[in-house]
Amino acid sequence: MAVKAKTRRTNVLPGFGLTLGFTLAYLGIVVLIPISTIFFKTFTLTWPQFWAAVASPRTIAAYKLSFGASIAGASINSVFGFIVAWSLVRYEFPGKTLIDVMVDLPFALPTSVAGITLTAIYAGNGWIGRYLAPLGIKVAYAPLGVIVALTFVGLPFVVRTIQPVLEDLDQEYEEAAATLGASRLQTFLLVIAPALIPALLTGFALAFARALGEYGSVVFISGNMPMHTEVVPLLIMSKLEQFDYAGATAIAVVMLTASFAILLGINVLQRWSSRRLAA
């Protein structure tokens, strides 16, 4: 009966050809053709050209800052995002709904707005910067500012990947652990934490991937000094402004490859995560 219903379903509903055709055509025009140009453009470069662009000292300094600051931002978000998600799911406190709504702000706020605002706050005379300056801590126009901006843009990802998993987590296991004599810390480390690890890693990867490509919020706060506070998207932008399309393309291909590798990793993580939840 169920099998019959299933076969009938694929036959009875209309519009398969129309919708799939439109989907493929639109996907091709908007995404696949533009993406393929970058790879075709790369083939027109000679090896020495390619190598000169992707391995120059300035580019290497930009990779280091981009990857380093993105890892730092995603790590900060993993720790504090976890605490935010835990508090939202497990505790009651005033302002909880407001926080739950506003956690997605970095996703909705235009990056140029975020950029100028964070710069204003962390500049030497800003609301927070003025208290850090006497301590010798420079945030705006320094690598630390890049980390602040990348932490901001990645904030929703860790919270929003852990939160639903935590909500679905059956508290009976915790009760069982407590009944069997486990301390709360043991329960957390041995029962709760293992269940959350796939979601935490997914959140980390999403925040990292977002941070790696970020431009708008970094461009204002970093100061854009080559070799010092220049992230890879800024380097690509400055090459484009000088009409060095070959150099920009070469670096973009390296970054795209890294992004696709992360995307693949996230897919694997999510499959692992859903298998865990199903079990």
Partner 1 sequence: MAIESPKRPGTADPPAVRIALITIALVFVALFIFIPVIAVFTEALQKGLGAYFAAITDPEARAAIRLTLMTAAIAVPLNVTFGIAASWAIARFDFPGKQMILTLIDIPFSVSPVIAGMLFVLLLGVRAPLGGWLADHNIRIIFAEPGIVLATIFVTFPLAARELIPIMQAVGSEEEEAAIVLGAGGWQMFFRVTIPNVKWGLLYGMVLCNARAMGEFGAVSVVSGHIRGHTNTMPLYIEILYNDYQFAAAFAVSSLLTLLAIATLVAKYYLERRVIPVKQEPDDLAVKVAA
Answer for which of 51, 58, 60, 90 binds partner 1 (CB under 8 A) is: 90
- # binding residues, partner 1 (CB under 8 A): 93
Q: Taking a C-beta distance cutoff of 8 angstroms, is the pair 166, 196 a contact?
A: yes
The single-letter code of the amino acid at 44 is: T
The answer to whether residue 41 forms part of the interface with partner 1 (CB under 8 A) is yes
**Alpha helix segments (H runs only) across 28-142:** 33-43, 47-54, 57-90, 96-102, 105-108, 111-122, 129-132
Q: Interaction with partner 1 in 146-175: which residues (CB under 8 A)?
A: 151-152, 155, 171, 174-175
CB of 279 vs partner 1, minimal distance in Å: 21
Chain centroid to CA 53: how far? 26
Alpha-carbon span 138 to 127, nearest angstrom = 13
Contact criterion met (CB below 8 Å) for 234 and 222: yes
Q: Does 189 bind partner 1 (CB under 8 A)?
A: no
The answer to whether 58 and 230 have CB atoms below 8 angstroms apart is yes
Told to check if 186 binds partner 1 by CB under 8 A, we report no
Q: Of 69, 78, 106, 202, which one interacts with partner 1 (CB under 8 A)?
A: 106
User: Which residues from 5-24 bind partner 1, rule CB under 8 A?
Assistant: 8-10, 12-16, 18-20, 22-24
Instruction: Report the residue number, 51 or 186, with the smaller CB distance to partner 1.
Output: 186
Three-state secondary-structure class, residue 245: helix
Count other Cβ atoms within 10 Å, centred on residue 236: 21
Considering only 158, 212, 221, 269, the residue that binds partner 1 (CB under 8 A) is 212
To partner 1, the closest distance from the beta carbon of 148 in angstroms equals 8
Binding status of residue 70 toward partner 1 by CB under 8 A: no
In three-state secondary structure terms, 201 is helix
Residues 195, 118: contact at Cβ < 8 Å? no
What residues from 214 to 243 belong to the interface with partner 1 (CB under 8 A)?
214-216, 220, 232-234, 236-237, 240
Which lies closer to partner 1 via its Cβ, residue 38 or residue 71?
38
**Rounded to whole angstroms, how far apart are CA atoms 45 and 48?**
8
190 contacts partner 1 (rule: CB under 8 A): no
Please name which of 212, 220, 172 lies closest in space to residue 192, comparing C-alpha atoms.
172
Span interacting with partner 1, options 45-53, 139-147, 195-203, 208-216, rule CB under 8 A = 208-216
Range in contact with partner 1 (rule: CB under 8 A) among 49-57, 121-129, 132-140, 195-203:
121-129
Please identify which residue in 56, 117, 224, 270 interacts with partner 1, judged by CB under 8 A. 117
Mark the segment that binds partner 1 (CB under 8 A) among 45-53, 55-63, 105-113, 136-144: 105-113
Quick check: helix, strand or coil at residue 176?
Answer: helix
For residue 100, state whether it binds partner 1 (rule: CB under 8 A): yes
Burial class (CB in 10 A: 0-12, 13-18, 19+), 46: exposed
**Residue pair 146/224 in contact by the 8 Å Cβ criterion:** no
Measured from the CB of residue 154, what is the shortest distance to partner 1 in angstroms? Answer: 10
